[in-house]
Chains A and B, each alone.
Chain A
Amino acid sequence: MQQKARIQNVVIFIIMLALAVLFLSPIFIVLMNSFKGKFFISDAPFKLPDSTTFVKLENYTSGIEKTGFINAFGLSLFITVFSVGVIVLFTSMTAWYITRVKGKFTNTLYYVFVFSMIVPFQMVMFTMSKVANMTYIDNPIGIILIYLGFGSGLSVFLFSGFVKSIPLEIEEAVMIDGCNPVQSFFKVVLPILKPIAITVAILNVMWVWNDYLLPLLVIGSEWKTIPIAIQYLKGGYGSIDMGAMMAMLVLAIVPIVIFFLTCQKYIIEGVVAGAVKG
């Protein structure tokens, strides 16, 4: 019986190992091809670079130059960090407000936020980019406001669910002790909200960092984030510099892998919590 269980464990382990190799191979293949000359990629993507095809870092230097990758990286980082920071701060405040102040207005507001969660981006993409253009927020700073607005539905919803579970007595006690609402929110409520704030932050980082269409339509004519820069490599008539493409894919994946490996625990928990509640 024990023998049988051990054999079963080994078999499962081997299957999983094979699947893991299969799952990692696409990233490895892209990495390998990023060191090959651009004419040796499409024909034989599964061959390791050899003395004729190896080009050192040439793809990286030409790709970075062609796409302006350094700027794109900086812009993506700027937009992601500030948008997510603003979203977490303001939507947690709003969620607390509409949960604690009961009334027709806050109740309606809550349902409008929830409603916005099911509206696909295509429904508002054209009008949103026009409104952004008319209100002069079609720039890297203004887009933070747009991310706050379009991202507030899910974030307010997640925060509200959590605020409801905080006993009112805690806040009442703090206010009796002489704190005003601002102090009691930042000193007492916000620390309690930390677990859900991490979930909200991670879900929004994944969204904003990888978002392509929204920044393309709002600021894409002058500014390029990483996804826009990569799509830009596919020039007119569908011709692609495969060498530069491979190198840029690697550079786009590396920050994500580093981010994932450093906060893996939070990411997996956060994503599951977001899925279950959303």
Chain B
Amino acid sequence: MQRSIKKYFPLFALPTILAFTIAFVIPFILGVYLSFTEFTTVNNAKWVGFSNYIKAFSNKEFLDALWFTVKFTVVNVITINVLAFTFALLLTRGKKGTNVFRTIFFMPNLIGGIVLGYIWQLIINGVLYKFEATLTSDAKYGFWGLIVLMCWQLIGYMMIIYIAGIQNVSKDVIEAAKIDGCTRFGILRNVTIPLVMPSITICLFLSLSNSFKLFDQNLALTAGAPAKQTTMLALDIYNTFYGRVGYEGVGQAKAVVFFILVALIALIQLKMTRSKEVEN
């Protein structure tokens, strides 16, 4: 059978491989190469070794963006997951209208980042107006604004994964814990949370990579203002590429560093999910 399928390679595999090569393989390899060169277009690259990387790491804007991104990611991951888990607990306890609530909480997830950014720009500026401030008058407003926005977008999504996990916990186990005299909080801490650990791992890393790679929301909400203080990594890379002529190489070097960071997060995720799978 394998041999007869093999003859159909041009039909089954070739179109995807061609598109994949053009849209991913060549740009990726070219990208790694260009990060070691100085260029303005792809054709005039000149080899400069690690100088782009040195420039990237001695660039204050890049380091600021990295620090802002890390801070934002940590706060965002904690806030989203605590709230989403609480929502999921309440929804699995409650009886009336569960489906309607689930639908409402999930809906913002489908709205694109640019649209989300402008919706919250209006609302947050409206609130701050009363205190004679704007979203871009202080970096802390942009920071918390972005947190609120991401909560609105992702809580419903994470909540649904948590609900699936909580519903998988068998009623018998909880019943047994009750008979043994466990309190509500005890059941939550000692029975429910360990048993929904796989969902927790998934949600932690989904929110982690979503926050770390954030671009559209960042661009639409503050575009980095004031004075680039709310610029995240992805936006900083974009600005380096398209904001300053002659810095394309540095931009590409930053992009490679960004890729390595994202890949590290993904690898840790893979390892942790695997180790959880063994336990089950």
Contacts and interface: CB of A to CB of B under 8 A. Distances in A.
Interface core residue of A94, A120, A125 (most chain B CB under 10 Å): A120
A178 B66 CA distance: 60
Interface stretch (A11-19, A50-58, A67-75): A11-19
A45 B122 contact: yes
B266 A127 contact: no
Given A120-B262, A126-B31, A268-B102, A172 B1 contact: yes
Interface of B: 1-2, 4-9, 11-13, 15-28, 30-31, 34, 41-42, 87, 90-91, 93-97, 100-115, 118-120, 122-123, 125-126, 129, 152, 156-157, 160-161, 164, 202, 206, 213, 215-216, 219-220, 223, 234, 237-238, 241, 248, 251-252, 255-256, 258-259, 262-263, 266-267
Contacts of B223: 238
Contacts of B109: 271
Contacts of A33: 122
Contacts of A20: 100-101, 104-105
Contacts of A275: 157, 161, 202, 206
A30 interface: yes
A188 interface: no
Given A45-B126, A227-B115, A146 B13 contact: no
A249 interface: yes
A45 B31 contact: no
A61 interface: no
Interface in A206-236: 206, 209-213, 226-227, 230-231
A276 B22 contact: no
Contact of B248 (A121, A126, A246, A259): A126
Interface string A28-61: 0110010000000111111000000000000000
A94 B16 contact: yes
Given A90-B15, A212-B112, A116 B202 contact: no
B126 to A, nearest CB: 4
B17 A123 contact: no
Contact of A116 (B12, B24, B161): B24
A167 interface: no
Interface of A: 8-9, 12-13, 15-17, 19-20, 23-24, 26-27, 29-30, 33, 41-46, 90-91, 93-94, 96-98, 100-102, 109, 112-113, 116-128, 130-132, 134-135, 137, 145-150, 152-153, 156, 168, 171-172, 175, 180-182, 185, 206, 209-213, 226-227, 230-231, 238, 242, 245-246, 249, 252-253, 256-257, 259-261, 264, 267-268, 271-272, 275-276
Contacts of B24: 116, 119, 124, 128, 149-150, 152-153
B114 A24 contact: no
B199 to A, nearest CB: 8
21 contacts: A12-B94, A13-B95, A20-B100, A41-B122, A93-B11, A97-B5, A97-B12, A120-B258, A123-B258, A126-B248, A127-B31, A130-B41, A146-B22, A149-B20, A152-B20, A175-B4, A181-B12, A209-B112, A210-B110, A226-B112, A231-B114
Contacts of A211: 112
Leading 8 A-B pairs by shortest Cβ distance: A149-B23, A210-B112, A45-B126, A149-B19, A127-B27, A124-B27, A12-B94, A97-B12
Contact of B12 (A27, A93, A118, A260): A93
A226 B107 CA distance: 19
A167 to B, nearest CB: 13
Contact of B87 (A19, A44, A97, A118): A19
Contacts of A182: 8, 11
